[in-house]
Amino acid sequence: MKTNYEQWAVYQIWPRSFADGNGDGIGDLHGVLAKLDYLKWLGIDAIWFSPLYPSPNADYGYDCADYKNINPEYGDLELFKQVIDEAHKRNIKIIIDLVLNHTSDQHEWFKQSKIPGSKYHDYYIWRKGKGKDGKKPPNNWLSMFEGGAWEYNEDLGEHYLHVFAKGQPDLNMANPAVREEVKDIMRFWLDMGVDGFREDVITYIAKREGLPNGFPLPIATGCKHYTSLPKVKDYLREFKHDVLDKYNAFTVGEAPMMTTKVAKDYITGDDHVLDVMFHFQHMEADCIMNDWVATPFRLGKLKRVFKHWQRELHGQAFNANYMENHDHPRVVDKYGSRKYRVQSAKMLAALYILQSGMPFIYQGQENGMTNIELQRLDQFKDVVTFNNYNLAKKFGLSEKFFVKYANRRSRENSRTPMQWTAEKDAGWATPWFPVNENCSEINVAAAEADPNSILHWYRALLKFRKENPVAIYGKYTPLRAGRKVFAYESEHEGKRLVFVGSFSDKPKAFTPPAGGELVFCNYNTVQQKLQPWECRVYVMEN
Ligand code: NOJ
């Protein structure tokens, strides 16, 4: 086994909203430097940076305009090197986002690709269109983000493929020259000292030959023809063999629509091509496909998904455990309770951090940050929100209704500036995005001073996890519990851990495990029944 990444707890930074070091209202690397001690104190072993690349921000860095540079809004290469060195001094690893499925339309490669005869033409997926004038798209694929998946270029008389926003043309990974570029980019950052990569929508990087039409869907028609095709593994094997293995680099792949069967092909055995993988199934206990198509919360689904992934991967691979990232609403509002914010945030934290695997914590999650309450559409920033607004209009929904809905379901809920202090705007000068008004109550400064805070709870959980291998490697068994209670047991080398968590506003009957020592409880006094959103963790020797 290579790097002992199993021990790591990873903290995700979405740079624009993390910490502002130069007072321009946009998070930056000086801000990050100033917070490294905070992350160390919290018990973090690695930071995953969402993209830091120069970008026109059609998708906030996931539209990369230069793979070997830092967005000047955040700093420069020298400053990033300083961040790496300072993090390493604190024994914190650095993982950066690698967006390989697409670039920005402002990337030099893409600009050149529009020049007839340029070698860059074949870096992207350009095709002749249909119809007499060739202006009809080459197939019926729809984007994940914005209408059709093809954009016509008059000068070339061809269309380019963009599975995401128009400003995110897909790369043609079938072209060996593109794969050489990828390896070169990997070496560039690894030589600088980064420890690994989070690979964005990595299972999309191969497209089916001939680009056949897909089964019609409201969005993402055609996705079957670019999800987890066999070529993906070939490409990843090549990157691993030619570069990643030489540096002992860690990889976590983002994999929408992933199943355990397919995941195992990527992350288990001698021929594994990724270390761990983000799947989405446990994020769909209150929605179908994505957060915008909301359903009532189904605890049964959450239980089933955790059980399935835990049991299927046990002993063969490691789960990447998360409850929040920059693509989802805040988890206290998604699966927890605003009324019992502190209790439910703590319960959800213990529920996933103590399962076998590698926990990822998203900025602000450790402080129980909540969703936004914006008033107007023009306060939002994200291409996905605007696209969904266009869809909502077609169904006759009003802007007022839509804004309320977006305040619950959009991914912008997790992108508000970090709430560091109780001051106006949580200490941010002219923040680029509205700061949640509840910052006077929910902020890091207050949480640090309160030993009962969510923040201290996260810290204690991470410390416990480090000291108790059962919380890293344990074999998972679901326990029978009431309808609104989640319970599991984890077992490792003669030690057992029992987690019990209530998802109810009402007291729930409960029988504690025999001989268990109570190591965590999110209430100060333990009563016979489980109190609303109560969580208890017991350990015992066999
Ligand atoms: C997944 C990223 O997490 C998301 O933020 C981004 O919009 C898409 N990939 C496209 O890069």
CA-326 nearest atom, ligand 1 = 5
In terms of phi and psi (left: phi > 0; alpha: psi -120 to 50; beta: otherwise), the region of 61 is left
CA-62 nearest atom, ligand 1 = 11
Whether 85 is a known active-site residue: answer: no
Helix (H, G, I), strand (E, B) or coil at 16: helix
Of residues 433, 380, 485, the one with CA closest to residue 15:
433
Q: Which two tokens stand for residue 318?
A: 């490691």
The number of beta carbons lying within 10 Å of the beta carbon of residue 187 is 15
pLDDT of residue 23: 97
Whether 324 is a known active-site residue: answer: no
- Residue stretches of the chain with pLDDT short of 50: 1
pLDDT of residue 3: 59
Helix (H, G, I), strand (E, B) or coil at 148: strand
pTM of the predicted structure, to 2 decimals: 0.98
CA separation for the pair 100, 103 (Å, rounded): 7
**Residue 30 burial class via C-beta count within 10 angstroms: exposed 0-12, middle 13-18, buried 19 and up:** middle
CA separation for the pair 143, 124 (Å, rounded): 16
pLDDT of residue 66: 98
pLDDT of residue 1: 40
CA-102 nearest atom, ligand 1 = 11
Helix, strand, coil: what percent of the chain each, to 5?
Answer: 35, 15, 45
Marked catalytic residue, from 254, 286, 327, 534: 254
CA of 200 to the centre of ligand 1 (A): 6
Helix (H, G, I), strand (E, B) or coil at 541: strand
Average pLDDT, the chain: 96
CA of 230 to the centre of ligand 1 (A): 22
The 10s digit of each residue's pLDDT in 10-22 is 999 999 999 999 9
Contacts (Cβ under 8 Å, ≥6 apart) of 154 = none
Amino acid at 176: P
CA of 375 to the centre of ligand 1 (A): 26
CA of 433 to the centre of ligand 1 (A): 19
Residues with CB under 6 A from ligand 1: 59, 62, 99, 164, 200-201, 254, 326-327
Give first-to-last CA distance, the chain, whole Å.
28
Candidates 59, 258, 324: which one to mutate for ligand 1, based on the most atoms within 8 Å of Cβ? 59
Candidates 48, 171, 279, 327: which one to mutate for ligand 1, based on the most atoms within 8 Å of Cβ? 327
CA of 291 to the centre of ligand 1 (A): 14
Checking 266-272 for CB contacts under 8 A at 24+ apart, the result is 266/233, 266/236, 267/313, 267/317, 267/318, 268/313, 268/316, 268/317, 269/316, 271/237, 272/317
pLDDT of residue 215: 94
Q: Which two tokens stand for residue 490?
A: 């984890």
CA distances from 293 to 145, 203, 218 (A): 14, 23, 12
